[in-house]
Amino acid sequence: MIRMDAEDKTKTNSGPAHVLTMEDWDVSAIHALLEKAQYFADNPEKLPLQRLYAANLFFEPSTRTKISFEAAERNLGLDLLHFEADTSSVIKGESLYDTVKTLESIGADVVVIRHGRERFFDELRGHVNIPIINGGDGCGHHPTQSFLDLLTIRQEFGTFTNVNIVIAGDIYHSRVARSNLEVLERLGANVYVSGPKEWMSDELLQRYLPMDEAVEAADVMMMLRIQHERHTVKMVAGPDEYHKRFGLNEEKAARMKPGAVIMHPAPVNRNVELADALVESGRSRIFKQMKNGVFVRMAVLHYVLEKQKGWLDQ
Amino acid sequence: MIRMDAEDKTKTNSGPAHVLTMEDWDVSAIHALLEKAQYFADNPEKLPLQRLYAANLFFEPSTRTKISFEAAERNLGLDLLHFEADTSSVIKGESLYDTVKTLESIGADVVVIRHGRERFFDELRGHVNIPIINGGDGCGHHPTQSFLDLLTIRQEFGTFTNVNIVIAGDIYHSRVARSNLEVLERLGANVYVSGPKEWMSDELLQRYLPMDEAVEAADVMMMLRIQHERHTVKMVAGPDEYHKRFGLNEEKAARMKPGAVIMHPAPVNRNVELADALVESGRSRIFKQMKNGVFVRMAVLHYVLEKQKGWLDQ
Amino acid sequence: MIRMDAEDKTKTNSGPAHVLTMEDWDVSAIHALLEKAQYFADNPEKLPLQRLYAANLFFEPSTRTKISFEAAERNLGLDLLHFEADTSSVIKGESLYDTVKTLESIGADVVVIRHGRERFFDELRGHVNIPIINGGDGCGHHPTQSFLDLLTIRQEFGTFTNVNIVIAGDIYHSRVARSNLEVLERLGANVYVSGPKEWMSDELLQRYLPMDEAVEAADVMMMLRIQHERHTVKMVAGPDEYHKRFGLNEEKAARMKPGAVIMHPAPVNRNVELADALVESGRSRIFKQMKNGVFVRMAVLHYVLEKQKGWLDQ
């Protein structure tokens, strides 16, 4: 290891060696420091520890997705660069592209991004050299949420073929839910929808089941979160009324088939789309979904880094 | 290690393997990813690193308690899940209970919570399967603060028996201080109070000492922080007046017994409850208290995890 | 390892061992916990892991500097204590000095500080026992930014002697730029300035070159960021006008010498001080500068900790 000149190069001759201003550094001390920096640049393999870095860029509130990615990253042994949107240069107007390029330059090996702008990734794909994982783009996509739903269903039934899945709630305004519908159908499941008819397109109405029929047909009741903030006008029914007409309550749950399960992406509006008592009932897989969220995110991270680095295969 | 299909499953055939939408994934690629996730679910012992996770949920401002817990956790080798109250789903209205269950599902092994609501933990105790450590509940309890005070006193005198302790300041409005009083008495100390009489209950007045007598009797002067924000009405005296009448200044400190010490939970209002010059004086144990805060938090974490996991005893 | 009494000392006899109130702890359990804490205090070498801690105190927005320090710290194997200015006791009025002393007491081995107050470090230097690294003090200094500029120039030309460097933009209002000018001259470079003359002092005007001459003379064009927020009054020219007259565009860049390079501290105002197309052009060293930022910060951290701890030399 290259040693710095042993003399203290700062004006303060006792105490710790602060680094405060350039004026404190004489020419030989500057050269010694540059030598050391160049040594670090030239000898990556001699760093005390060799790390892979993930940066999680969450421009919108999240508990479960952000922490779940963090747990997945740490479980795989990845290290974190802690990006905080609200104290970053983004508030000085820096673009998402420049922010990601910056993180790439600093050493991020993978970035996870949640952003309010739909398809935020279109300006990045093809222009950055590290993998981007979509942690949710506005009302658009949320692939790791889909993967965790899929894993939960597969664990339950061992297959997707002919599994009856009812997606209930505001599926029309949720592209995530429609994306789930599409992928479940591709995988062989029978997918139905339920909930307020005024929230359905004509296409969706072709697979519509009234709630009373839905609970009896379903192997999986996928309840959607009512996003109050987006429905002040539309939601003619209040929460109690909604719960009674379109929510899943204990009486309806009792009529579900043996082995049928309840799923929900959480956070649950208790006693709106789902009765409080059902959240942790035997039929519920809601907390299982959260556990599975960590495993699918590990798999997704592993997938992109394996391609990028041949990582874990050495 | 299970390998993903080597082909790039995303539409972009060059560059890194992003994960952006479900539409990019064909059925076989989906199944391969689910296989890998299931492998992670089934083989916890084959993870690259096996970790224990702590999550620190601080819903109120804190420097010393939060960072002290963090240092304690890292000292023990625990890993952190970084929960940030102000960007979490709590702002979407998620309950504390659901937040803690979520963290439990994601893999937290212990949670530390500071919350403005007194006895926030009553809704959690008995319903969650991971240990909760109270990092301060409003005006209620703050057990690790008590433990660090106790450790500091024990280091100084080797015992609590017959140690004379004066708690000075607004003890009536501070349940933490009253909790300290109670536990110190149980441990055998003689506990007195001082400060503005109008802030004392009749019960507290039975152990009242005027400041002039208090400084001569005390082995420990535990000065409390004046919480300006809570005393706009009550505090008839201004800061200078308070300092003169009820604060500990150099003249009074000079009359303390040999070996007597000054404690304060910090942050100190310098020259209000305590003279600036005394904060880092020979009698002060204020920074010692901070150091001890890390050690008692290590002990507390070790205690709850030992019970939970048989941890560190393997 | 000392074991706690195996009995559960909390009132709840089943489930995890929470730590919630002092009333839950009986005297023997308290003593057992204090024993354990004292054991940790007395036996630092028996901790599961022995760590060195860095704390990054950023009181002003930053992406690149903060994350760059974090990468440097993790690359060296340092651990982080996560200080968040906006949720810290600083908002209760705690001074910077007391905050740093607190971090020192809790176990920080080095602190990096960015603060809006110029020469914030004057109140700390000589009073704290851990090294302070200046991550930017208002309009004052930013030594690691200077070091990364220096490293980038040295990598390019192998020397500073007689390298022609043009600093272009609002150098008068940027003490960082003037500090760069001063140190580059001390290292043997020829330093010129360009940009709006009304932003130059008489002293700076002695080394003034019009932009058209500057691009032909320069080995390095160091473009400064126009800080819009500080120039509402002064900046008579709009962004387009500024770009045309004082910015570096493709036409001007084409007239630069073979081997000459473009630098910029970032974030870039694209098409103001620098044409969008030049940011990632062959002449640009902007992302190289970011990479070098990590290396010089590693060198700086290594330098201060080597002095403090004899670290890495064992």
**Tens digit of pLDDT for each residue in A8-67?**
444 445 677 778 777 777 788 787 778 878 877 787 766 655 689 999 999 987 878 999
Q: Which residues contact A121 (CB under 8 A, 6 or more apart)?
A: A113, A132, A134, A137, B18, B20
CA dist., res. C265 & res. C233, Å (int): 24
Asked if A51 lies within 8 A of C75 by C-beta distance, the reply is yes
Q: Is position A254 within any domain?
A: yes
> What pLDDT, in 10s, does the model give residues B214-224?
999 999 999 99
Confidence of residue B51 (pLDDT cuts 50, 70, 90): confident
Domain contains A181: yes
Same domain, A18 and A128: no
- In this structure, what CATH number is given to the domain that contains residue B93? 3.40.50.1370
Candidates C303, C308, C311, C312: best to mutate against A (most CBs of A within 10 A) is C303
The percentage of chain A sitting over the pLDDT mark of 90, rounded to a whole number, equals 55
Query: Is C61 an 8 Å CB contact of chain A?
Result: yes
In this prediction, residue B25 carries a pLDDT of 78
Interface of A with B in 113-172 (CB under 8 A): 121, 125-126, 128-134, 140-141, 143-144, 146-147, 150-151, 154-155
What mean pLDDT comes out for the span B139-156? 91
Indicate whether A45 and A63 sit together in one domain: no
Q: What's the whole-number mean pLDDT along residues B181-195?
A: 94
In angstroms, the Cα distances linking C89 to A174, B297, C83, C107 are: 41, 19, 10, 18
Which of the four pLDDT bands, split at 50, 70 and 90, describes residue B77?
confident
Which residue did the predictor score with more confidence, A249 or A24? A249
Do the domain assignments include residue A288?
A: no
C17 in a structural domain: yes
C12 in a structural domain? yes
Mark C73-103 as b/e (b = at least 16 C-beta within 10 Å): bbbbebbbbebbbebbbbeeebebebbbbbb
Does a structural domain hold residue A183?
yes
User: Which of B303, B312, B310, B295 lies closest to B154 in space, CA to CA?
Assistant: B295
Chains that touch B (3 or more CB pairs under 8 A): A, C
Contact B133 C18 (CB under 8 A): yes
Task: Output C275 or B22, whichever has higher pLDDT.
Answer: C275
Average pLDDT of chain A is: 85
- How far off is chain C from A294, nearest CA to CA, in Å? 23
Q: Compute the distance between CA of residue C314 and CA of residue A37 in angstroms, rounded to an integer.
A: 20
pLDDT, one tens digit per residue, over A173-185 is: 888 888 899 999 9
Domain limits for position C159: 143-283
Is B16 within any annotated ligand binding site?
no
Q: Structurally, how many domains does chain A consist of? A: 3
pLDDT digits 0-9 by tens, C74-118: 988 899 998 887 766 666 677 899 999 999 999 999 999 999 998
In this structure, the answer to whether residues B137 and B154 fall within a common structural domain is: no
pLDDT value at residue C263: 97
- Record the tokens describing residue C293, joined without a space: 């930022």
Position A158 in a domain = yes
Q: Specify whether B204 is located in the same domain as B227.
A: yes
Indicate yes or no: CB of B89 within 8 angstroms of CB of A62: yes
What is the SS3 string spanning chain C? CCCCCCCCCCCCCCCCCCECCHHHCCHHHHHHHHHHHHHHHHCHHHCCCCCCEEEEEECCCCCHHHHHHHHHHHHCCCEEECCCHHHCHHHHCCCHHHHHHHHHHHCCCEEEEEECCCCHHHHCCCCCCCCEEEEEECCCCCHHHHHHHHHHHHHHHCCCCCCEEEEECCCCCCHHHHHHHHHHHHCCCEEEEECCHHHCCHHHHCCECCHHHHHHHCCEEEECCCCHHHCCCCCCCCHHHHHHHHCECHHHHCCCCCCCEEECCCCCCECCCECHHHHCCCCECHHHHHHHHHHHHHHHHHHHHHHHHCCCCC
- A162 and A127 assigned to the same domain: no
Q: What is the pLDDT of residue C6?
A: 37
Q: Which residue has the higher pLDDT, B60 or A110?
A: A110
Are A271 and A301 in a shared domain? no
Claim to verify: residue A277 and residue A175 sit in the same structural domain: yes
Burial of A313: CB neighbours in 10 Å, binned 0-12, 13-18, 19+: exposed
pLDDT-based confidence at A231, cuts 50/70/90? Answer: low
CA distance C21 to A43: 52
Q: Which residues of C touch A104 (CB under 8 A)?
A: 287
Q: Name the nearest CA neighbour of B146 among C136, A172, C64, C25.
A: C25
Q: Are the Cβ atoms of B88 and A302 closer than 8 angstroms?
A: no
Q: Does residue A30 sit in the same domain as residue A109?
A: no
| Separation in Å, CA of C19 to nearest CA in chain B | 5
| Distance from C-alpha of C171 to C-alpha of A233, rounded to nearest angstrom | 54
Locate B144 and state its tokens: 């690790």
Mind listing the pLDDT tens digit for each residue in A283-294?
A: 999 999 999 999
> What is residue B5's predicted lDDT score, i.e. its pLDDT?
43
Of C199, C203, C285, the residue nearest C246 (C-alpha): C199
Query: Phi and psi for B258 in degrees, rounded to 5?
Result: -55, 135
Q: Lowest mean pLDDT: which of A144-158, B27-41, B108-122?
A: B27-41
Question: Given this model, what pLDDT does residue B24 score?
Answer: 75
B1 or C182, higher pLDDT: C182
Q: What is the mean pLDDT of chain B?
A: 85
Same domain, C176 and C220: yes
Task: State whether residue A21 sits within 8 Å of chain C by CB.
Answer: yes
What average pLDDT score do residues B42-53 get?
Answer: 72
Of C70, C183, C267, the CB nearest to A94: C267
Residue of C nearest to B227 (CA): C92
* pLDDT in the model for residue B192: 97
Reported as a pLDDT band with limits 50, 70 and 90, residue C173 is confident
Q: Categorize the per-residue pLDDT at A89 as very low, low, confident or very high, splitting at 50, 70 and 90.
A: low
DSSP reduced 3-state for A159: coil
Residues A137 and A152 in one domain: no
Q: What is the reported pLDDT for B207?
A: 96
pLDDT for position C73: 92
Is B114 annotated in a binding site? The answer is yes
- Tell me what pLDDT residue B1 has: 35
Nearest 5°: the CA angle A178, A184, A188 is 145
In this structure, the answer to whether residues C21 and C132 fall within a common structural domain is no
Do C219 and C155 fall into the same domain? yes
Report yes or no: A233 at the C interface, CB cutoff 8 Å. no
Q: Is the pLDDT of residue B76 over 90?
A: no
**pLDDT number for residue B18:** 78
More confident residue, C10 or C35: C35
Mean pLDDT, rounded, for A124-140: 90
Is the model more confident about C16 or about A196?
Answer: A196
Select from B15, B20, B49 the Cβ nearest to the Cβ of A141.
B20
C314 found inside a domain: no
Which range has the worst mean pLDDT, B11-20, B44-53, C212-221?
B11-20
Whole-angstrom Cα distance, residue B107 to residue A94?
35
pLDDT at A88: 63
Dist. CA B209–CA B274, nearest whole Å: 18
- Contact list, A300 vs chain B (CB under 8 Å): 19, 33
Q: C46 to chain B: which residues are within 8 Å by CB?
A: none
**Ramachandran category for residue C296: left, alpha or beta (phi over 0 → left; psi -120 to 50 → alpha):** alpha
Do A176 and A163 form a contact (C-beta atoms < 8 A)? Answer: no
